[in-house]
Amino acid sequence: MTDLSRRSWLKGAGLMSSLAVIGGITPLDQLSAKEIKKFRPRPLTGNIKLSSNENPYGPSEKVRQAMISNFDQACRYPFSYSGGIVLAGGSTEGLKVVGLTYGMNGGEIIAAQPTFLALMTYAAQWGGSVNWVPVDKNMMHDLDEMEKRISSKTKLIFLCNPNNPTSTLLPADRVLDFCNTVSHKVTIFSDEAYYDFIEDRNYPSMVSLVKEGKNIIVSKTFSKVYGLAGLRIGYMVAKPEIAASLRKNIMAFTNVLAIEAAKNALDDQEFYDFSLNKTLEAKKIILEGLDDLNLEYAPSNTNFIFFKSGRNIENLQQQMLAKGIIVGRPFPPFDDWCRISTGTLEEVIQFNDALKKVLS
């Protein structure tokens, strides 16, 4: 087992002893009728989809009621925002807008490889180029190399932190220093889709630097911890002049019901805490299964785990699908690594069982 696996962290975390997963019995997954109504776990039907980093819970009862209460507003166009907040039809739409804005006319984007591709793919479609920087030996962004690659044609540096698909998290002081210093040379995009899953509650968001007037764009989403992936609402935070330039290129706005859902999700601390706790429980079940199989994995700071299966991912996808489990897509150059999302406790126990059979 390499230093990536963090076996000691798993064993010392304390939660594993409370899970008591024995012979398929999962006491913590037996939610009461009241909890089911509040937190809405997805039903266990058909193939188990653990490939898109979706929250298996929600929308919460509070959010559902907010949408119902605002149906009468569905005849209205969404109201507009100004200042430093840019709403979009999901954070992916925001990524595409940034790719268009900074990639057009031959603009260069510096990005890690592998990482989430939406921004760079869209930049390339509008004439931009991508300067790929391989992640380092710990599967983290190589910030030193990214800074070295800056040239007169560089328009943006893309940071996904925690990174998708590797789930690794940059040291807080290092990323703060990088963004503070490098943003004087070029605009930085900080994708914080998985920020809520960081266990260090004091880990800084780069929004703090936006407030200082730095050339930084921060992306946030309601698709993950808030369980609103299907409603398509996300937002970006930037200083007003940058926000204004991005807003001009928004193509897919959100809708009034999604806005009401998001507002109430932000105020629903009970669901937020439940979602994070269930994610931790599910991750620990998966990690215990990977340890039993002696498989290497990256330290997870998200609602998914990136592990080395030792098999070509496309082959593993088909083998797992035959067992009723849908796993993540390929992320070159890590062609024998697999990204697995957390699901309900029952779902991840079935994942462990399927993986054991496939790799036996």
Report the C-alpha gap between 178 and 193 in whole angstroms: 19
CATH code, 288: 3.90.1150.10
- Residue 203 belongs to some domain of the structure: yes
Residues 336 and 213 in one domain: no
Q: Is the pTM of this model over 0.85?
A: yes
> Domain range for residue 279?
7-60+269-359
Is 19 within 8 Å of 284 (Cβ atoms)?
yes
The tokens of 217 are what?
């764009």
Strand-strand pairing, 129-134 and 108-113: parallel
Q: Which of 266, 293, 317 is the last residue of a domain?
A: 266
Residues 35 and 117 in one domain: no
Report the C-alpha gap between 57 and 42 in whole angstroms: 6
Report the C-alpha gap between 158 and 83 in whole angstroms: 23
Q: CA triplet 68, 73, 77: central angle to 5 degrees?
A: 135
pLDDT in tens, the chain (360 residues): 444 443 333 333 333 333 333 334 344 456 888 888 889 899 888 899 999 999 999 999 999 999 999 999 999 988 665 689 999 999 999 999 999 999 998 999 999 999 999 999 999 999 999 999 999 999 999 999 999 999 999 999 999 999 999 999 999 999 999 999 999 999 999 999 999 999 999 999 999 999 999 999 999 999 999 999 999 999 999 999 999 999 999 887 899 999 999 999 999 999 999 999 999 999 999 999 999 999 999 999 999 999 999 999 999 999 999 999 999 999 999 999 999 999 999 999 999 999 999 999
Residues 129 and 219 in one domain: yes
Q: Which of 240, 266, 292 is the last residue of a domain?
A: 266
Judge residue 147's burial from the number of C-beta atoms within 10 Å of its C-beta, 0-12 exposed, 13-18 middle, 19 or more buried: middle
Residues 28 and 125 in one domain: no
CA quadruple 85, 234, 129, 114: dihedral, nearest 10: 130
Q: Which of 266, 297, 325 is the last residue of a domain?
A: 266
Q: How many domains does the chain have?
A: 2
Residues 192 and 337 in one domain: no
Residues 147 and 209 in one domain: yes
Residues 242 and 280 in one domain: no
- Residue 228 belongs to some domain of the structure: yes
Residues 14 and 101 in one domain: no
